[in-house]
Amino acid sequence: MKDRARHAVVLAAGRGSRLGASTAELPKCLTEVAGRPLLDWLIESLRNAGVEKIVIITGYRAECLESYRGEHTELTHHVDWASTNMLGTLMRAASFIATEPCLITYSDVAVRSTHLSCLANAVGDIVVANNTQWRSLWEARFSDPIDDAETFASNDGKLRAIGGRAFSLDEIGGQFMGLLKTTPAGWKHLSRPLVADETLQRRGDTTQLLQVILGQGVTVNVVDCEGGWIEVDTPADRDTVAKGLAQTDWIHDWRR
């Protein structure tokens, strides 16, 4: 397939201060779940999905990630990681993303390789992954899931709304998984607002960027994924994952 994404960018510059003492010496992406660092799980899934080259954007405690450098894995350091947000980190990979279809992923997640493969093969210049089984995970993570969940709406495989404040569960048709695919043509749409607006680039997040391009009439496709994904933002999230994995056939288990 011409536009199949065989390359990936992993955004791994952040410390993850909400994880407290566990990130005092290690970056967030090296937080262990199920006996392995999150980054190990993610790289394994990317490889199993057919990704041939991975670029990891480092920041906090970058030296801890040197062991991941290899023939098919490149490390690029984001010097200004502490004073920028996710989109500033993303721009460090601009020259790479501009030349090949790429998967772009947060580094504090673990996800099934089958989801990554579906996303890599998806039709469209910009495609986002949607966790349709988000609610049971959020209910396990938060006393009131609507306090953390954001709006997500799609229709006929097209994204209609994302990243807003939700006031009812009816406004939430899923949750963004920190995963997207873009082609060079798609990157032109994504990068244009970042180049034009320094504040967005330095302080914005991915859902804000998606909001901007939706407002410009850019088409964003959606791949629905049923569970098989977790994220770790806090110590409580690690506990939630441990409890979930102790169950039989936990729908959010990314390892199967």
pLDDT digits (tens, 9 = 90+) for 146-165: 989 999 999 999 999 999 99
pLDDT single digits (tens) 229-248: 999 999 999 999 999 999 99
User: Is the model's pLDDT at 193 over the cut of 90?
Assistant: yes
Pick the CATH number of 7-245 from 3.40.50.300, 3.90.550.10, 3.30.565.10, 2.60.200.20: 3.90.550.10
Query: pLDDT at position 209, please?
Result: 98
Asked whether the predicted pLDDT for residue 22 surpasses 90, the reply is: no
At 210-222, the pLDDT tens digits run: 999 999 999 999 9
Provide the pLDDT for residue 100.
95
For the chain, the 3-state helix, strand and coil shares in percent, each to the nearest 5, are 40, 25, 30
pLDDT tens for 96-130 read 999 999 999 999 999 999 999 999 999 999 999 99
pLDDT of residue 143: 92
Q: Residue with structure tokens 């960027």?
A: 209
Q: Quick check: 134 and 151 in contact, CB under 8 A? A: no
- Over residues 173-184, the mean pLDDT reads 98
CA-closest candidate to residue 53, choices 39, 72, 77: 72
Asked whether the predicted pLDDT for residue 8 surpasses 90, the reply is yes
Supply the DSSP string of 193-240, one letter for each residue: HHHH-HHHHHH--HHHHHHHHHHTT---EEEEE-S-EEE--SHHHHHH
Model confidence, pTM = 0.96
Least confident of 11-25, 64-78, 100-114: 11-25
CA-based R_g, the chain, Å: 17
The residue to which tokens 């607002």 are assigned: 193
**Residue 1: which pLDDT band, with cuts at 50, 70 and 90?**
low
Give the pLDDT of residue 170: 86
Indicate the pLDDT class of residue 17, thresholds 50, 70 and 90.
Answer: confident
Cα–Cα distances in angstroms (integers) from residue 142 to residues 136, 146, 195, in the given order? 10, 9, 36
Q: From CA 241, how far away is CA 218, in angstroms rounded?
A: 36
Q: What's the burial of 37, exposed, middle or buried (CB within 10 Å: 0-12/13-18/19+)?
A: buried
